[in-house]
Structure 1
Amino acid sequence: MAQDDLKRIAAHRAVDLVESGMVLGLGTGSTAVHALDRLGELIRRGVLRDIVGIPTSKKTEAHARSVGIPLTDLNANPVVDLSIDGADEVDPHLNLVKGRGGSLLREKMIEGASRRFVVIVDETKMVNRLGGSGLAVPVEVIPFGWNFTMGKLRRLFDHVEGFDLKLRTEAGDEKAPSVTDNSNYVVDLFFENGIRGDLEEISDAILKIVGVVEHGMFLGLATSVIIARKDGGVTVMKKEADGKIMAG
């Protein structure tokens, strides 16, 4: 099956968990788009009623409005019943890398306020350790002194073999920094062999750097991950109350 078909399968499976009256966190990205389309369809058909969504990006906000999903925000609804979003990487403990689309701060705020956070991915997003795909682990930084902040990030990982980082720029213009919905920049971290060590300690060390706003490691937030397999089947990994991960 094509990758987009797999994304649609996972997204529709997640939307099956939505009930009328819920406050929903609406994710950002190519997989989350399928969830938005399905939610809009069910609302128009009257299958779901009294739903309100909190978008994790301006792009998601525009798409949600276009398909008829009523919107609210965290100020009005500080507790979210269910968030549905994709991920760039998922490790065996359901830790995630998110934010390669630049929406990591709003995603983490909304999904961190959620009673349940369901992640929808195809099986290519599964990794043995975060950073293991060799693709970016994003860090959102304020524009003021960004190069100073990037230097601090470099020194934090200068002992790590195969580590590199760079300021994210606009596609087609290497001189124009990519700007997030929060008017910040993104520094992309790259780990040739994935991130080794205590992820919580590494998270804390990154966040202690002045100028860093947030990073794209989502640790302990996902309650379940819906994985669409290439054969068209679906695997669901859930975090139990005791912290154990169960697959079914």
Structure 2
Amino acid sequence: MSISAEDIKKLKQEVGIAAAQRVKSGMVVGLGTGSTTAFAIEELGRRLAAGELTDIVGIPTSFQASVLGKKYGIPIRSLDDVDRVDVAIDGADEVDPHKTLIKGGGAAHTREKVVDSLATLFIVVVDESKLVDKLGSTFAVPLEVLPMAISPVTRAVEKLGGKPDLRMGIKKDGPVITDQGNMVLDVTFEAIADAAELEKTLNNIPGVVENGLFVGVTDLILVGEFKDGKPQIREIS
């Protein structure tokens, strides 16, 4: 069965809503970035407006999440204002069988890693196309890099066997600039044998702010998939 763009959108919506349903009143909620998480933020706003939820605050992982949170009436705070994150809801570009992720398709992985790692419960929301047997098989590993360090980081990554590409803007001349004012190198590896080791190695390169490998952070994955032509949500915990 071929899955249309409209079907994928419906799956993302179902998964986003399911994640938002797990938020309880009084919680501090990490608001992730991306198309699937956007549906979760919208649902949180609906629940607040309907009186199903009270006293939640949102900790955004990007300008996009902040704008959406405000649009849907979620009180937005920073990590300076809270002493905990109860739950974070975020998407992923790849998810492997060990619940290890590649994130950063939206160039927000630095803030996402900070907020998602702090969460007592980190829920990943994806459609079935994001599940892979081997990490790095469909998506490069994004590195957020200080602009002054692009050349030396490129050389260092090449020595590790990676193929780095400077991410360029769409409908914008020049490179993508992150919310922190940095650039993004998308690094393709033929194989990622040890994601935890690679995560550390990449972050130890001077000039790298953060990379998109999320190891040992995920608590629960909600996967939207079609079974017998009907959308359903599968839990991986």
TM-score bracket, shorter-length normalisation: over 0.9
For 1:32 and 1:126, the matched residues in 2 are separated by: 17
- Displacement of 1:196: 2.7
Instruction: Show the counterpart of 2:134.
Output: 129
SS at match of 1:28: coil
For 2:171 and 2:15, the matched residues in 1 are separated by: 32
Aligned residues: 229
1:146 aligns with 2:150: yes
Instruction: Show the counterpart of 1:237.
Output: 236
- AA paired with 2:194? D
- AA paired with 1:46? G
For 2:83 and 2:100, the matched residues in 1 are separated by: 23
Instruction: Show the counterpart of 2:201.
Output: 205
* Contact kept? 1:92, 1:128, Cα under 8 Å: yes
**4+ residue runs of structure 1 moved beyond 2 angstroms?**
none
Identical pairs, percent: 38
- AA paired with 1:99? G
SS at match of 1:140: strand
For 2:171 and 2:156, the matched residues in 1 are separated by: 27
Cα deviation code 1:56-103 (max 9, x no counterpart): 001110111011000111111141000001110100010101111000
* Contact kept? 2:87, 2:122, Cα under 8 Å: yes
TM-aligned CA distance change 1:62 to 1:172, over 3 Å: closer
- AA paired with 2:178? T
Cα deviation code 1:15-61 (max 9, x no counterpart): 11100000000010000010011000000011000010000001110
Provide TM-score, normalisation by structure 1: 0.89
Which consecutive residues of structure 1, in runs of 5 or more, have no partner in the other structure?
158-162, 239-248
For 1:78 and 1:205, the matched residues in 2 are separated by: 30
Instruction: Show the counterpart of 1:241.
Output: none
For 1:196 and 1:21, the matched residues in 2 are separated by: 40
Q: Cα RMSD between the aligned structures?
A: 1.2
More helix by share: 2
- Displacement of 1:151: 1.1
- Displacement of 1:172: 4.6
For 2:192 and 2:50, the matched residues in 1 are separated by: 48
1:218 aligns with 2:222: no
5 Å-filtered alignment, 1:47-196, equals 47-133=52-138, 135-157=139-161, 163-172=162-171, 176-191=174-189, 193=190, 195-196=191-192
- AA paired with 2:105? R
Which consecutive residues of structure 2, in runs of 5 or more, have no partner in the other structure?
none
- AA paired with 2:209? V
Structure 1 range deviating more: 66-75 or 197-206: 197-206
